[in-house]
Amino acid sequence: MRPYSKGEKMWLCPNAKKHRGGGNTGGGGVLPFHRDEAWRVNDSDGTYDVGSYGLNGWALNPPPGTSSVWGRSPASDHWRTPNVKNANNVPVFFGMWWVDAWPRDTDRPPAIGERPSDTVNTDEMNRVCVDRHDGFVNGLFADWTVRKIGLKELWTLKWHRSYNINGIWTKAGNALPSDWPAWMRHYKDY
């Protein structure tokens, strides 16, 4: 986003306006400890990028012949274009704990709401399930609309081509309020 903005203010949700300067992860980034903190990625030239939004990794367009992107596969699950059926339910850009996420319909919700649990290529819905807006997160969809989404509603969005929108964490998949972590149980079911 750097070429399109004049500073960090645009990169940060007003509810996530702080970032930490230390405690790098293996990828040269800093994950937040609290919902009002943002991520930070250190660049090789001593500068850094900071933000509180991230990309749905499945929205990428991998080169032909690619079998996976950053270990997330299959590449055939990627949207590759915004010109898809039901684009209003295809996530592109959301408030997140990290720069990107690759959610799957079987991803478990985060055990606690204040600190992200980040396990690469496992339960990456945790990167999106951010409680900065009282049970909601803001998102941009492939039809270029923006709206707020209930935290439990995240599991009903079409994150990638073979994503099951009626998976185990949805009402259609028979998820019960008691199945959710305690911090999420009082939020609306979808």
Instruction: Kindly tell me if the per-residue pLDDT of 145 is higher than 90.
Output: yes
Instruction: Kindly tell me if the per-residue pLDDT of 24 is higher than 60.
Output: no
Length of the chain: 190
User: What are the residue boundaries of the structural domains of the chain, listed by start?
Assistant: 1-190
In which residue are the tokens 């339910």 written?
A: 89
Q: Which residue has the higher pLDDT, 8 or 133?
A: 133
What pTM was estimated for this model as a whole? 0.89
Alpha carbons 48 and 172: distance in angstroms, whole number: 43
Mean pLDDT value across the chain: 87
Instruction: Kindly tell me if the per-residue pLDDT of 27 is higher than 90.
Output: no
Contact between 150 and 184 under an 8 Å Cβ cutoff? The reply is no
Closest CA to 163 of 70, 94, 89, 113: 89
Torsion of CA 34, 179, 153, 50, to 10 degrees: 20
